[in-house]
Amino acid sequence: MLKPKAIAQVLAQVNTAGVKATLLLNPDGSLISFAGWSEREARVLAAVASNVWFAYERHGRPAGSEVINEDGKESLQDLILECEAGKLCVSRASKMLLCLVADEETEWGLLKAKVIGNNGYAFVRHPT
């Protein structure tokens, strides 16, 4: 089960050190919870992020790679993109996707560390 308000608070804690918005979304692009930005912007971003994620997963899957997730299938784990006006990081969190938007100055490593840290929360690991 998800506690909607608690999740929003956890996501809000990620929004430091250059991270502007944090979103939790379903693989189909529907927004579950977010922190930072307006709802309208968040919805658009969620749709874009899920689209990008699946474009990579479908077409960018490396042949014969060794990456195996919990389901026993190989799949994309993290996706970090550098855009014109910032950085975007999408990561698999249980059956959902976690999406961070940061400005250009944010370091790659910090972004990745934040994603790993957030995924460590029990609610993301076991949402049942």
Partner 1 sequence: MKKKVLLMGKSGSGKTSMRSIIFANYIARDTRRLGATIDVEHSNVRFLGNLVLNLWDCGGQEVFMENYIAAQRDHIFRNVEVLIYVFDVESREYERDMHYFQSCIDAILQNSKDARIFCLIHKMDLVQEEQRDLVFQERETDIKRRSAPLGITAFGTSIWDETLYKAWSSIVYSLIPNVRHLEAHLDSFCSICEADEVVLFERTTFLVISHSTHKEHADIHRFEKVSNIIKQFKLSCSKSQAQFQCMEVRADDFAVFIDVLTPNTYVMVVMSDPTIQSAATLINIAAARSHFHRIEQGQIAR
Residue ranges binding partner 1 (CB under 8 A): 1-5, 7-8, 25-26, 30-34, 39, 127-128
Least spacing, CB of residue 17 vs partner 1, in Å: 24
* Closest to partner 1 by CB, 9 or 103: 9
* Closest to partner 1 by CB, 59 or 95: 95
* Closest to partner 1 by CB, 26 or 75: 26
* Closest to partner 1 by CB, 22 or 106: 22
Least spacing, CB of residue 60 vs partner 1, in Å: 26
- Range 53-77 burial, b when 16+ CB lie within 10 A, else e: beeeeeeeeeeeeeeeeeeeeeebe
Least spacing, CB of residue 74 vs partner 1, in Å: 26
